[in-house]
């Protein structure tokens, strides 16, 4: 049973966590901070980042914390953030692509006109990873952890509906974005291998967690969901373990998917998980990558 007690000393390491101000992102960043890393809290709202930093410092840790504004809804903002980050930091040991838009009831789009969940969860993180890749590639032992979810199992890519040409279904778009994240993480590792790079790309999913999103929807929704999950939702600190394991465990390797080990991936402690066949479709992953390159104007690795 792997927990944060198994994390190595991360003093001297730089870690970037997107969406670090709440839920699983907060718990992920806090664990890195407690392990001694310099943790950059990349958040859409700086006030929220400031409050998260203060709460982490009160909780205690032996690392250091840095707030940073990153709005994944805008590819221009992603570029601005990445340029500033590389000016300030000579290395990046771990990038955790954690932030997510989750089932907004009304259709919304990014600054470039793409459906919000696909744009933030996948395109924004694709662009961020690509712009920071030279720094990752120059850092020995660097890892990229991209967060998916069990929703990927029901996800299907419809690359002809990325601008809501065919209408909007909140859960369908969320599942698509999380499938895209898993496809991206696996394809990135294949491309790194083809270019003989040393960065490792891994995927993780947190299982079922009692985050503010789940609680805020309704008590009835949460109760019904817990029946499907086979037990009570986990607290966010436990959901963060899969990302942390992928980021630091010696036995975690690129091209793998890490997930809670019980109730079909909804509960438990991190382990390597089987990947559904549609997420292993290399032709689909390559098509998705080509679309992302065209949208973002970024080509990497190599």
Q: What is the pLDDT of residues 177-204, one digit of tens each?
A: 999 999 999 999 999 999 999 999 999 9
Confidence at residue 215, expressed as pLDDT on a 0 to 100 scale:
41
Tell me, yes or no, whether 206 lies in a domain: yes
Kindly list the distances between the CA atom of residue 280 and the CA atoms of 153, 200, 243, in Å, as whole numbers in the listed order.
Answer: 12, 17, 20
Q: List pLDDT tens digits, range 113-172.
A: 999 999 999 999 999 999 999 999 999 999 999 999 999 999 999 999 999 999 999 999
Please give the Cα distance from 66 to 14 (Å, whole number): 10
The tally of CA atoms less than 13 A away on the side-chain side of residue 69 is 7
pTM to 2 decimal places:
0.95
Tell me, yes or no, whether 302 lies in a domain: no
Q: List pLDDT tens digits, range 75-106.
A: 999 999 999 999 999 999 999 999 999 999 99
Q: Which tokens in the block code for residue 114?
A: 């793409």
Range of the domain at 282: 4-296
Q: Taking Cα atoms as reference points, which of 61, 134, 147 lies closest to residue 298?
A: 134
| DSSP 8-state class, residue 90 | S
Please give the Cα distance from 248 to 262 (Å, whole number): 21
CATH code for position 67: 3.40.50.720
- Residues identified as active-site: 174
Q: In the predicted model, is pLDDT for residue 225 greater than 70?
A: no
Q: Per-residue pLDDT averaged across 235-249, rounded?
A: 97
Tell me, yes or no, whether 301 lies in a domain: no
């Amino acid at each position: 049973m792997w927990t944060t007690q198994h994390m190595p000393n991360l003093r001297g390491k730089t870690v970037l966590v997107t969406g670090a101000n709440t839920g699983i992102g907060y718990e992920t960043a806090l664990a890195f901070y407690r392990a001694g890393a310099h943790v950059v809290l990349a958040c859409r709202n700086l006030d929220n980042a400031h409050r998260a930093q203060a709460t982490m410092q009160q909780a205690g840790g032996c690392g250091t914390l840095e707030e940073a504004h990153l709005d994944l809804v805008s590819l221009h903002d992603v570029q601005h953030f990445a340029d500033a980050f590389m000016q300030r930091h000579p290395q990046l040991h771990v990038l955790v692509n954690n932030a997510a838009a989750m089932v907004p009831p009304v259709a919304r789009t990014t600054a470039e006109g793409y459906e919000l969940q696909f744009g933030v969860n996948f395109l924004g993180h694709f662009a961020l990873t690509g712009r920071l890749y030279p720094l990752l590639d120059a850092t020995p032992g660097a890892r990229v952890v991209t967060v998916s979810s069990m929703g990927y199992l029901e996800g299907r890519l419809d690359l002809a509906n990325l601008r809501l040409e065919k209408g909007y279904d909140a859960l369908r778009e969320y599942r698509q974005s999380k499938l895209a994240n898993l496809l991206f993480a696996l394809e990135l590792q294949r491309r790194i291998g083809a270019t003989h790079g040393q960065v490792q790309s891994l995927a993780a999913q947190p299982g079922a967690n009692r985050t503010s999103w789940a609680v805020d929807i309704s008590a009835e929704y949460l109760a019904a969901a817990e029946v499907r999950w086979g037990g009570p939702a986990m607290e966010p600190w436990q959901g963060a373990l899969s990302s942390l394991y992928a980021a630091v465990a010696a036995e975690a390797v690129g091209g793998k998917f890490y997930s809670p080990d019980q109730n079909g991936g909804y509960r438990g402690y991190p382990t390597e998980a089987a990947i559904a066949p549609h997420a292993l479709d290399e032709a689909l992953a390559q098509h998705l990558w080509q679309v992302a390159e065209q949208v973002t104007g970024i080509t990497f690795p190599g």
